Structures are given as structure tokens and as C-alpha cells.
Amino acid sequence: MTPGLSANTAARGPAPRIAAAIAVLALGGCASFSTDGGFEAVEQVAAEHLGKDARWTRSDAERDAVDRRVAQLLAAPLTMDAAVQVALLNNRGLQAAYAELGIAEADFVQAGRLPNPGFSFGRLQRGDETELERGLHLNLARLLAMPTVRGIASRRFERVKQDAALATLKLAADTRKAWIAAVAAGESVRYARQVLEAADASAELARRMARAGNWNRLQQAREQGFYADAALGVARAERLHGATRERLTRVMGLWGGQVQFALPERLPELPDEAAAMPDVERRAIAQRLDVRAARLGVEQTAKNLGLTKATRFVDVLELGLVRNSSNEAPTQRGWEVRFELPLFDWSDARVARAETVYMQALDRAAAIAIDARSEVREAYGAYRSAYDVARHHRDEIVPIRKRIAEENLLRYNGMLIGVFELLADARAQVAAVNGYLDALREFWIAQADLELALIGRPGLVMPAIAGAAPPAAAGPAH
């Protein structure tokens, strides 16, 4: 005997109506995978906020295309924008974050699939009588809850999209800061080497003056100490340059021959004006991705709470079609419903837990919004302060030290001061230039933090890097 319902059997009872309803649900609830796996949302965020391309490489051909694009970008001295583009294409950690999209979409598709029916078969022997029992069962509780479960999976999928977009923006900000630190460190190395050359010349002159009897040992020791400090400054600057360059290499995901990329010699100049943002808090709350993700999380938790309450008393509900046949009696056809009796567990603990989780999600969302307001205010304050400090160095301190150096050079040419007095004054000018380099670096880092704070939770601010060169030299190279 063939299990199942025949056409003649379906015409005699409620089975045809149930089967028809299941068929309609099967056609309407069938879910399939999208062509982009939800990555379009990430691409839009990258294009809108960064002006860059984001790629999710899921095949060898796509990986080869990315490698060719990265090679093109690394062929020329790497600008800040090019470094960000390389990181978005090549960072494997970011690609692993994108894989969460595929996992969430798979869960979403699975939530839209009808539960598989169950089939049971029994053979009973009573004397000469043989009875065959066949049953077709469907989890009706899961079927009825499918729209709710699918909605929960859909909201989780949307939240994962937001998380992937935020990971993209954070990597872009980290790349900017790493590029700024690496370029600034390279500039400090070149300046420290110029300081060392001037210190070497000063120390050699002091040795000659001492041999000629024109200087005492104290004066010679001072110049030699300056040279020793300059040599130490070069070593520190080179170590810092290597560390910052390696950090940039990591965020861009480079290895092998790719690590031989070239960087510009100088940071971009300070803008003429700082950006004015009177509505910085409103902009952050309206467009920050972590705030959006928190809202989606609250909605998802609320739906979970509704599902928990809906299945509080009946958590197991199955609908079955039955067909029993015997060699001594007519075939029996019918249906059955099985459900769980809430005699011992009334699910009050599950409901209480769901309600507590919902309140927890509300508090976390509120905390994220409060933190967002504070973080963007802090980021904008740091940006304005860094701009004011860098501008003061550029417009006041460095020009003043330059004018002083020019006046001393005139006096030296007029034989009013000696060469060592000229060098001593130049050391103060070195400190001024180093201060401007540090202030310029801190400004660009503060701007990167502000840009991220407007669209997502900013990362840890890189610690201030002390000037590599000692406060002494023969003159600035800037």
C-alpha cells in the first residue's frame, strides 16, 4: 500500500482543505537567497560616507580581481584615500565580518522554509489479522509561528547589515589614522637625520676648537651631548616609523612583496578653516549606525517577547493525517492533533526572562544613544582644539622662530655673534618645527575620529607620539 492521500480519499474529508492550505503556505512562504547576500547596504554606506568601493570576495575570480586592483593602487605613492581603498578591498578581517551577512541570510531563508512533515509507519499483528498504520504529521505550532519567526530573522539580517557597514567605516577610520601616523613618523625620521647632521658638524667644530685651545672641556662636552641626544632621537624616530608603518600594513592586509609600498613625504597641509558643526549631536543620532542597530535590536527583542507569550501554554502543536488499513476491515482515514498539556510548566519563567531581556535591550539602546551624543561632542571638541593648536603653531610659533633665526643669521654675518650662538638659537627653532609636526598629526587624527563619531562608535584614540627629534639642531627642514 502506498502511504499518503489519494485523490479519492481527499474528496471525502477535511484532509483536502488542510492540504490545500499547506500548499498555499508553501507557495507564499518559500524563501530564496538574494543575489548579493545583503551586501548592497554595505556598498551604499561605503559609497555615501567614504566615496570608496567595498567588495565581498566569495570566489577565486573575485579575489584575483581585488589583487590586481590593490597592485595598481600600490604602484604609486600611497595617498590616504588610496590606503583606505586598499584596506576595504584587501583586509581579511573585514571579509570575515562580511561573512556574517551570509550566515544571517541563511538563517533568514531557513526561517521562511516550511517545516518538513513527519511520516510514521506501523505494522501490527493480531492472530491472522495484519494491520498497517501510516501517518503524516506536520508541526502546526511552528507553521503558525513562521511569520513571526521570519520577521525576527529579517530584523536580525538587517542588524547584521548595519554591523557590517559599521565595521567598514571603522576600518576606514583606523586606516586613515594609521596612514597619518606612518607619514608623520617618516617626516620625523627625515627631520631627525637632518638634526643629527647639524649636531655632528657642531660636535666636530667643538673638537677642533678644543684642540686649538679656544674651548674648554665643558663647552666641548655640551656639544658632544647634543650630538648624542640627536643620535638617540634618530633611533627613536626610526623605531616609531617602523611600528607605524607595520600598523598601516596590517590594516591594509598586505604581505609579501606588497609591504614595499611608498608613502608621501609630508602630511597634507592644515585647512584654512575648521569645519563648523552646530548640529553635531542631531547629525550623530540621525545617522549613527550603532544607534540604528540598537533600535533594530529592541524591535527584535520585542518580537521575541510576543512570540514567547504566544506560545506560553501551547508550545507543541502537531497536525497529522492518518490512514490505517487491515486485511479484515475497511481502511480507516482521518486526522489527529497533538499538543502539550501545560500541567507542570506554565512558562511563566520563560515569559519573565523574555520581559527582562526586553528591558535590558531598551536600557542598552538608551545607553548607546547617550554615549553617541557624548562621543560626538568629545570628538568635535578634540577636532577644534587640535585645529586651534596646529594653527597657532603654524601662524605664530614657527614664523616667530624663523624671524629670530633670520635676525641671528644677519648678526652672524656681521660678526656680532659666533657660530655656536647661531646653532644654539637654531635648536629652539627645531623644537618649534617638531611641535608643529606633532600638532598637525594630531589634527588629522582628530578629524578621522570625528568623521567616525558622526556615523559610528569611534575607536580608541591613538596615544600622542612624542617628537622624535631632541630640542636641538642647526635648523628646520620644513
* 70-117 per-position pLDDT tens digit: 999 999 999 999 999 999 999 999 999 999 988 888 888 888 888 788
- Cα 217-220-225 angle, rounded to 5 deg: 120
Neighbours of 391 (CB within 10 A): 19
For cell 663647552, what's the residue?
A: 219
User: Cell triple for residue 118?
Assistant: 513527519
415 versus 344: which is more confidently predicted?
Answer: 415
Of 339, 347, 345, 341, the C-alpha closest to 139 is 339
Give me the CATH topology for the region 7-453. Outer membrane efflux proteins (OEP) (1.20.1600)
- Cα 202-208-210 angle, rounded to 5 deg: 100
Report the percentage of the chain scoring pLDDT > 70: 74
pLDDT in tens, 143-195: 777 777 787 788 788 888 888 988 898 899 999 999 999 999 998 898 888 88
Q: Categorize the per-residue pLDDT at 424 as very low, low, confident or very high, splitting at 50, 70 and 90.
A: low
Cα–Cα distance measured from residue 36 to residue 44, given in angstroms and rounded to the nearest whole number? 13
pTM of structure: 0.70
Cα–Cα distance measured from residue 55 to residue 157, given in angstroms and rounded to the nearest whole number? 19
452: left (phi over 0), alpha (psi -120 to 50) or beta: alpha
Q: Where are the domains of the chain?
A: 7-453
pLDDT in tens, 302-354: 666 664 555 444 444 454 555 556 555 666 666 555 545 454 444 566 667 77
3-state secondary structure of 54: coil
User: Cell triple for residue 23?
Assistant: 500548499
Q: For the chain, percent helix, then strand, then coil, each to nearest 5? A: 65, 10, 25
Q: Give 334's strand partners.
A: 322
